[in-house]
Chain A
Amino acid sequence: MSEEKNIAIKKEENRYYEMLANFIGPFISVIAGLLVGAIFMLSIGRSPLTAYAVLFNSAFGSLAGISETLVNTTPLIFTGLAVAFAFRTGLFNIGGDGQFLIGYISAAWVGYIIHVPMIIHVPFAILFGIITSGIWGGVAGLLKAKLGVHEVITTIMMNYISLYLVAYLAGGPLKGATFLPATKKIFDSAKLIKLMPNIRGSRLSIAFILALLTAYLIYYILWKTTIGYEIRAVGLNSEAARYSGIKAAKNMILAMFISGGLAGMAGITQVLGLQHRAYQPFGFIGYGFTGIAVALLGKNHPAGVVLGAFLFGILQRGSMQMQSIAGVPKELVQIIQAIIIFFVAAEYIFKYIAHKLKENKGGVTSVE
């Protein structure tokens, strides 16, 4: 009879192999991405070593460089958290780009429409942006929970609806008086405080600090509160959650609202911290999609998301210099990103290897 206990112990051991694979997987994926990037560079006769040296040097070589890297990291932390949080409820938020734009235009509007002290203006602009982008994301949760409509399709469609909506708003009703296809400039009272005012040209604002705090907050919600407990239960088995009195529908809508708000934060901080007005978009910047890569790389854990966002922040920051100095088109970074996702997505390979490892050690798999 203690045989049962032994089987349970062995199955637990298997789990540790899987967890190990969880750490090694992303690591190998990043290396693979950089290697494939190198192959692309070699194929056009450029030196990968030089290019990567330039890339990392521009990201870390100076305080200004580091500041710019963190500027690039900030929105990715938010969109990465957005994807990761939705994932925990079992939902795939592929609509980060749309939610980004909704947060972006909302914050810009609040930024110039009212004139109040900073202590009110900034929080209010942020809050308003979170609510609108949260609702934008929440719609997908609502349709999923009430009508079973696949959130991937809804969020894709909502992306384009928001793209055209924001393009209409920024180029039409909300357009500023200048020749720019953009809204009016926001008031100083709505601008985020700069973190490195002494470094010339540094654009880093407290948005970065906000992003880190948000990551911690999301971690706390997910693993320390009843809200997170319910969200994770719904994500892992919504039927069992429902049977124990947890409202799956409510949690899906809530999770998509929070997820949308998180992606919206990327847009909000973009306006309040960097651009100070909302420009008419002609396409997606891709923060939402890169957020998927970030979340995958970070295994949907907030700490992993911060690391993943940092990595992609480095790549994005370095790509410009890589182009001008090493002669490697900056789009190579996107290729590297894609390769990294390919490898993370194919984690089955790593699981398979882990599986083989434990088979050799005489582990147990389930039968029948």
Chain B
Amino acid sequence: MLNSMIALLNTTLRMATPLILAALGGVFTERSGVINIALEGIMLISAFMAMAGSYLTGNPWLGVLTAIIFGILVSLIHAILSISLKADQIVSGTAINIFATGLTAFLLRVMFESAGQSPSVTDVGTWTIPIINDIPIIGDVLGEQIPFVYIALILVAISYWVLFKTPFGLRIRAVGEHPAAADSVGINVIKTRYIAVLISGFFAGLAGASISIGLLDVFVENMTSGRGFIALAAMIFGRWTPQGALLAALLFGFADALQMLAQSIGLDFIPRQFLLMLPYVLTILALTGVIGSSEPPAASGEPYEKE
């Protein structure tokens, strides 16, 4: 019983990691007033690039770097379209998502002449945290994990600090709530939004890498399978804060872990699809105010038109 509990928590943390990372990205862009439903597509491209980087260099960390670079590049497309060209942010995001599916499958075929899956590559392995690892139970859950777990947890703290303690964070939030007000005190709205969207690309890039060469060691076609949208859900459920997104991602990760381990912990009487749809159902309930209330930043989704 204890063992399966530990396994459950361990898996929860692992499965939550890509969600935490991508949700943090979501927090940054939405706080600045740019909706980014392209997180899914950016993650997918980054997952591929992480695999490709690791495959080509043999060094998984270069894979992570490649993923981050591509994450930022793709988010730059979203930034140009939705901020400078004032395209509809949903449309731009949708286009990136379609682009990502096409591009990754295309590259998979071109690079490996195979459909569906890449060969195995070197993954990032796991890290063992000395002292923590020796503590009973906690050590079993937290002591030895893929590096992304620790990176994600640290980034939650940093994100909170940046958004709520620094001038830059105050400006991002001002731009997302009332861009004209920010503009009137000399804050560059366009630049601030660009930076926020690029930050989201960084996070989505890491999130993508955490799937292909963290959780696994291959790239599988469409492997993000909606995680970008769950991350979006986690961000909403967590009321647009890093700490809230963390908790929501853990909850959704838990649902995921439950369906993965349902058999071993005797929960297989619940159809796994019901556990899989849980994050989405919870998010709708959160938005309808059944569970707490969730309100997005006021200027969310509106391109800024200078007078």
Contact = CB atoms under 8 A, between A and B. Distances in A.
When A and B assemble into the complex, do they touch directly, with CB atoms less than 8 Å apart?
yes
Interface of A: 40, 44, 92, 94, 143, 147, 149-150, 152-154, 156-161, 163-165, 167-168, 172, 283, 286, 289-290, 292-293, 296, 329, 331-335, 337-339, 341-342, 344-349
A102 B40 CA distance: 23
A168 B271 CA distance: 7
A159 B77 CA distance: 25
A87 B30 CA distance: 23
Contacts of B102: 331-335, 337-338
Contacts of A349: 85
Contacts of A292: 91, 94
Contacts of B274: 164, 168
A160 B98 contact: no
A150 B280 contact: no
B66 interface: no
A345 B280 CA distance: 28
Interface of A is mostly: helix
Contacts of A332: 102, 106
A334 B98 contact: yes
Task: Select the residue from A44, A150, A342 with max chain B CB neighbours within 10 A.
Answer: A342
Query: Which of A154, A164, A337 gathers the greatest number of chain B CB atoms within 10 Å?
Result: A164
A260 to B, nearest CB: 15
Contact of B94 (A168, A289, A347): A289
Which size class do B's interface residues fall under?
35 or more
A308 to B, nearest CB: 14
Contacts of B288: 143, 147, 149
Interface stretch (B120-128, B172-180, B224-232): B224-232
B110 A44 contact: yes
A156 B225 contact: no
B90 A152 contact: yes
A292 B88 CA distance: 12
Nearest to A346: B85
Contacts of A152: 35, 37, 90
The 6 closest A-B pairs by CB, nearest first: A334-B102, A338-B99, A341-B95, A345-B87, A331-B105, A164-B273
Contact of B287 (A44, A153, A341): A153
B273 A167 contact: yes
A332 B107 CA distance: 10
B91 A345 contact: yes
A267 B238 CA distance: 34
Given A164-B277, A167-B273, A338-B99, A156 B106 contact: no
Contacts of B77: 342
